[in-house]
Amino acid sequence: MNCRDALELVHGYIDGELDLMKSLEIEQHIGGCASCKVQYDRMRELGSGIRAHAVYHASPPALRARVGAALPQEPGSAARYPAWGLGRMSAAFALAGLLGLAVGMALLHPGAEERIAREVVAGHVRSLMAGHLMDIASSDQHTVKPWIAGKLDFSPPVKDLAPQGYPLAGGRLDYLGERSAMALVYRRQGHVINLFVWPQADVADSGLRSDAHRGYNLVHFSRAGMLFWAVSDLNPDELKAFAALL
Amino acid sequence: MPHLDAAYNLARWLTRNEHDAQDVVQDAFLRAFRFFDGFRGSEGRAWLLTIVRHTCYSWLEKNRPAEVRAGFDEESAAADAAGFDPDMMAAEGGNPEAIALQNAHKRILNQAIALLPLGFREVLILRELEEMSYKEIARVVDVPVGTVMSRLARARQLLRQSAPLRAMGGFAVTEVKR
């Protein structure tokens, strides 16, 4: 990362808007670059100064009444219920609030698919962070496949997709959804794709489904009693094209 | 009437005037009411602020088109600084905020924000005062998320370099206790 990029990305970092990998890159850069560190400190100082001292203009009391009076009245009800329009709007806002609550609760109890998506992304990030991307580094599917066979109770298909622009880089054992899973590592230009494969009883074959979680893109499908989840920071279209080749 | 404060705060910072902000908010709520179908649950604030912002721009284009044209013009904003009423931010009548604003540092900071070009000012307000995510800001301002970050970066750089803050002798705002 160069200083020009860092000076912009540091704002996303301060605002908590960067994904894990970008945050680590920024931390590393600031750690080694004194002038960017100074900028970072100044911008943080500025941010806390603004939040402490910039005026939040609360609406004047008269405005509420004025807006309420200006909202359209239902025909015939205006005389008897002057605040009807306002009431209707409040009711709708309240309903929307309830819907928001329902959505919030759904997030607390994620469906199975979302839970898997979370674990897959966590597995992907872990593999990049811990420097444990591969147990076996090989672009040769005939090396990777026998290696797997000795470790797992199932046999995932291993394809080298180098001709299509997605070279196989290796594989490792991982643990997902409370069972062992195979992680195949592919590369696409600078990007790493983790393809997690594990068997699942009674699963019907399905087409490609796209998803995104914490800034990572996911494509998943099931085939021959196995679940396939590809995860990467690669763009959704290329990730989908990759999954379609499997 | 939820989000009325958020609506007023944004309109107040974009029009930089109490009465104009009230007109804009009233107009925005009327529009919001008319297009009620567009309202979507938990994103209600972003949806309403999109309308408020749009109403502000329409109002500014009609009444102060130069400000919209200079939306990203860093030089004309700097020139504005000379003729700007330093007491503008304190012209709030007798409310408690105005009294609190007597603090010189605070007034200078608020003035410096008010002097930012419109396009930079709006992302800063949405981020720092409304505490919106980049995604929400992107929606309100109708630009990609990456643009939100680069505008915020520029807004903060401009603020740090701004004449009022520099005249104060560097950035000493955080030395003032809350």
Encode pLDDT of A143-176 as tens digits.
777 777 777 777 788 888 988 999 988 888 887 7
> Do A123 and A227 share a domain, yes or no?
yes
By Cβ distance, the residue of A43, A54, A85 closest to B156 is A43
B156 belongs to a structural domain: yes
Residue B65 to chain A, least CA–CA distance (Å):
24
> Do A234 and A208 belong together in one domain?
yes
CB B18 within 8 A of CB B91: yes
Residue A104 — very low, low, confident or very high, per pLDDT cuts 50/70/90? very low
Whether residues A49 and B109 touch (CB distance < 8 A) is answered with: yes
Of B21, B26, B105, the CB nearest to A67: B26
Residue that is last in its domain, among B40, B69, B98: B69
A179 vs A3 pLDDT, higher one: A3
Q: Which residues of B touch A104 (CB under 8 A)?
A: 42
- Is the pLDDT score of B171 beyond 70? no
Task: For residue B160, list chain A residues with Cβ-Cβ distance below 8 A.
Answer: 42-43, 46
What domain range includes position B58?
1-69
Task: Judge if A190 and A135 occupy the same domain.
Answer: yes
Interchain pair B113, A63: CB under 8 A: no
B111 and B167 part of one domain: yes
| Residue A124 and residue A31 in one domain | no
- Checking if the pLDDT of A92 tops 70, the result is no
Q: What is the average pLDDT across A103-118?
A: 61
Q: Is residue B84 one of the residues assigned to a domain?
A: no
| Same domain membership, residue A167 and residue A88 | no
Shared domain for B101 and B165, answered yes or no, is yes
Does residue B100 share a domain with residue B58? no
Q: A119 and A201 in one domain?
A: yes
B19 with B61, same domain: the answer is: yes
Total tally of structural domains belonging to chain A = 3
- Which pLDDT tens digit goes with each residue over B130-158? 999 999 999 999 999 999 999 999 999 99
What pLDDT digit, counting tens, does each position of B10-45 carry?
999 999 999 999 999 999 988 887 766 545 455 788
- The answer to whether the CB atoms of A42 and B171 lie below 8 A apart is yes
| Average pLDDT value for residue range A6-32 | 92
Closest of A241, A239, A232 to residue A192, by C-alpha:
A232
B102 and B61, same structural domain? no
B9·A58 Cβ contact <8 A: yes
**What is the phi/psi pair of residue A108, to 5°?**
-70, -25
- What the block records as the tokens of A79 is 């005389």
Q: What is the mean pLDDT of the segment spanning A235-245?
A: 93
Task: Give the predicted TM-score (pTM) of the model.
Answer: 0.55
Nearest CA in chain A to B45: A93
Query: Would you call B40 and A96 a contact, using CB atoms and an 8 Å cutoff?
Result: yes
Residue B98 has pLDDT above 60, yes or no: no
Q: Which of A95-104's residues contact partners 24+ apart within 8 Å by CB, and which partners?
A: A96/B39, A96/B40, A96/B41, A96/B42, A96/B44, A97/B2, A97/B41, A97/B44, A99/B41, A99/B42, A100/B41, A100/B42, A100/B44, A103/B41, A103/B42, A104/B42
In a domain, B78, yes or no: no
**Are B112 and B158 within one domain?**
yes
Residue A48 has pLDDT above 90, yes or no: no
Poorest-confidence range of A64-73, B64-73, B160-169?
B160-169
Q: How far is A62 from chain B (nearest CA, A)?
A: 9
Chain A residues in contact with B159 by the CB 8 A cut-off are: 46, 50
The alpha carbon of residue B66 is apart from the nearest alpha carbon of chain A, in Å, by: 24
Quick check: A209 and A219 in contact, CB under 8 A?
A: yes
* CATH number of the domain that residue A241 is part of: 3.30.200.100
Asked if B63 and B101 sit in the same domain, the reply is: no
Residues of chain A with pLDDT > 70, as a percent, come to 79
Is residue B150 included in any domain, yes or no?
yes
pLDDT tens digits, residue range B50-60?
999 999 999 99
pLDDT at A138: 72
Same domain, A36 and A86: no
Query: Residue A23 belongs to what domain range?
Result: 3-53
Report the chain A residue with the minimal C-alpha distance to residue B174.
Answer: A49
A31 and A70 assigned to the same domain:
no
Using a CB-CB distance cutoff of 8 angstroms, which residues of chain B are in contact with residue A9? 149
Write down the pLDDT at residue A35. 94
Q: Which CATH number characterizes residue B152's domain?
A: 1.10.10.10
Q: A51 to chain B: which residues are within 8 Å by CB? A: 128-129
Residue type present at position A21: M
Question: How sure is the predictor about A228, in pLDDT bands with cuts at 50, 70 and 90?
Answer: very high
Question: Which chain A residues are Cβ-neighbours of B26 within 8 angstroms?
Answer: 63, 66-67, 70
Please determine, for residue B71, whether its predicted confidence score (pLDDT) is greater than 70: yes
Say yes or no: A240 and A184 in one domain: yes
Q: Are residues A34 and A130 in the same domain?
A: no
Across the range A66-95, mean pLDDT stands at 54
- Are residues B127 and A64, on separate chains, in Cβ contact within 8 Å? no
| ipTM at complex level | 0.82
**A86–B128 C-beta distance less than 8 A:** no
Q: Which residue of B has its CA nearest to A49?
A: B174
Higher pLDDT pick, A236 / A100: A236
- Range scoring the smallest mean pLDDT among A155-164, A214-223, A224-233: A155-164
Q: Do A89 and B1 touch (CB under 8 A)?
A: yes
Rounded mean pLDDT of B59-79?
A: 83
Q: What is the pLDDT of residue A180?
A: 81
Residues B174 and B95 in one domain: yes
Judge if B96 and B164 occupy the same domain: yes
Q: Do A120 and A211 lie in a common domain?
A: yes
The CATH number of the domain holding residue B33 is 1.10.1740
Q: Quick one: pLDDT band at residue B8, thresholds 50, 70, 90?
A: very high
Mean pLDDT of A206-231: 90
Residues B42 and B125 in one domain: no
Q: Total domain count for chain B?
A: 2
B7 occurs within a structural domain: yes
Mean pLDDT (chain B, rounded): 80
Higher pLDDT, B36 or A237: A237
Residue at B178 is within a domain = yes
Is residue B8 within 8 A of residue A62, CB to CB? The reply is no
Residues B103 and B151 in one domain: yes
Closest listed residue to residue B171, CA positions, set A177, A182, A43: A43
Cα distance from A60 to chain B (closest Cα, Å)?
9
User: What was the pLDDT predicted at A159?
Assistant: 87
Q: Indicate if B125 and B155 belong to the same structural domain.
A: yes
